[in-house]
Amino acid sequence: MRMAFMRSLLAAEAVLMSLGFTQATAFAQRGFLEGTPKPPTPIPTGPTPRMPDGKPNFSGVWNSPDFGSLGGPLPLQPWAQKLADERKKSGEIDDPEGKCLPGGVPRISPYPMKMVQTPDLIVMLFEGNVHSYRQFFLDGRGHDKNLDPSFMGDSVAHWEGDTLVVDTVNFNDRTWLSSGSAAPHTDKLHVVERYRRPDLGHIQVDITLEDPGALTKPHTFKRMHTLDTAWEIHEYVCNDLVLDLTRK
């Protein structure tokens, strides 16, 4: 019954994009798989929690109501715009995430994520897709020049006051920047994220994309995450629940 209801992650994202946040949250939080939608959790209020060293603590389970937005049209180079248009015309049938591959950066899924923070490392754990993860190293290291290009890239981070600045490079070119844009990128993609936690219930992120191989200029947009105190990330097996066997 699960497979009959949801044949692909693309189909789920298409539905979610057409819903309001309240419906989307309930949909993402397993009601569509288990038959009992979880009521949306009120966003908690209160001051910014802090680590023992005084830095903001980003730990928690987070929803992403604007997960599919890149803040407007991307400044794509002609070849990249042509490819994005072709992908949309074909119904985005070749979306790698629809084949259970990692979504990449800055793309995120409609499912919750969990952040775990220590003084030297912050980890993002994603419930959706293939249980992808990201690591933000805070120990002063630089980028590892011996790593092969990857779906999620190589991230290092530092603090600028209460702002966590994450610098990510060394991507492969196998992901899309978002499902809505169907936009490609190259292995020259460079992503800078600036995370702030202004209060208990919110994380604000300013994201800048640079890619001299696919973009005509840098593109910056904002993303908001909201805290969910009544949820833990759950098992989600993309290949079992999502894979559309009619796709090649």
Q: Rounded mean pLDDT of the chain?
A: 85
**pLDDT-derived band at 108, boundaries 50, 70, 90:** very high
244, 8 Cβ separation under 8 angstroms: yes
**In the predicted model, what is the mean pLDDT of residues 19-30?**
37
43, 65 Cβ separation under 8 angstroms: no
Please tell me the predicted confidence (pLDDT) of residue 127.
92
222, 207 Cβ separation under 8 angstroms: yes
Stated as kind and residue range, the H or E segment containing 206 is strand 202-210
Rounded CA-CA distance 58/162 in Å is 11
Q: 33-55: per-residue pLDDT in tens?
A: 444 445 678 999 999 999 999 99
**In the predicted model, what is the mean pLDDT of residues 209-226?**
98
Instruction: Write down the domain spans for the chain.
Output: 2-232
Please tell me the predicted confidence (pLDDT) of residue 39.
62
Is the model's pLDDT at 91 over the cut of 50?
A: yes
**In the predicted model, what is the mean pLDDT of residues 227-239?**
90
How far out from the chain centre does Cα 191 lie? 13
Give every CB contact of residue 87 below 8 A, 6+ residues apart in sequence. 94, 95, 176, 182
Closest CA to 95 of 27, 177, 15: 177
Please tell me the predicted confidence (pLDDT) of residue 241.
60
Please tell me the predicted confidence (pLDDT) of residue 5.
34
Find the length of the chain.
248
Is the model's pLDDT at 11 over the cut of 70?
A: no
Is the model's pLDDT at 171 over the cut of 90?
A: yes
Residue scoring higher pLDDT (66 or 165): 165
Please tell me the predicted confidence (pLDDT) of residue 182.
96
Q: 186-216: per-residue pLDDT in tens?
A: 999 999 999 999 999 999 999 999 999 999 9
Please tell me the predicted confidence (pLDDT) of residue 242.
52
Residue scoring higher pLDDT (151 or 238): 151
Residue scoring higher pLDDT (134 or 8): 134
Cis previous bond, 106, omega within 30? yes
H, E, C per residue of 47-109: CCCECCCCCECCCEEEECCCCCCCCCCCCECHHHHHHHHHHHHCCCCCCHHHHCCCCCCCCCC
Give the up-direction half-sphere exposure of residue 105: CA atoms within 13 A in the CB hemisphere.
31
Is it true that domain 2-232 has CATH number 2.40.128.20? yes
**pLDDT-derived band at 98, boundaries 50, 70, 90:** confident
Is the model's pLDDT at 140 over the cut of 80?
A: yes
Is the model's pLDDT at 225 over the cut of 70?
A: yes
Is the model's pLDDT at 2 over the cut of 70?
A: no
Is the model's pLDDT at 109 over the cut of 90?
A: no
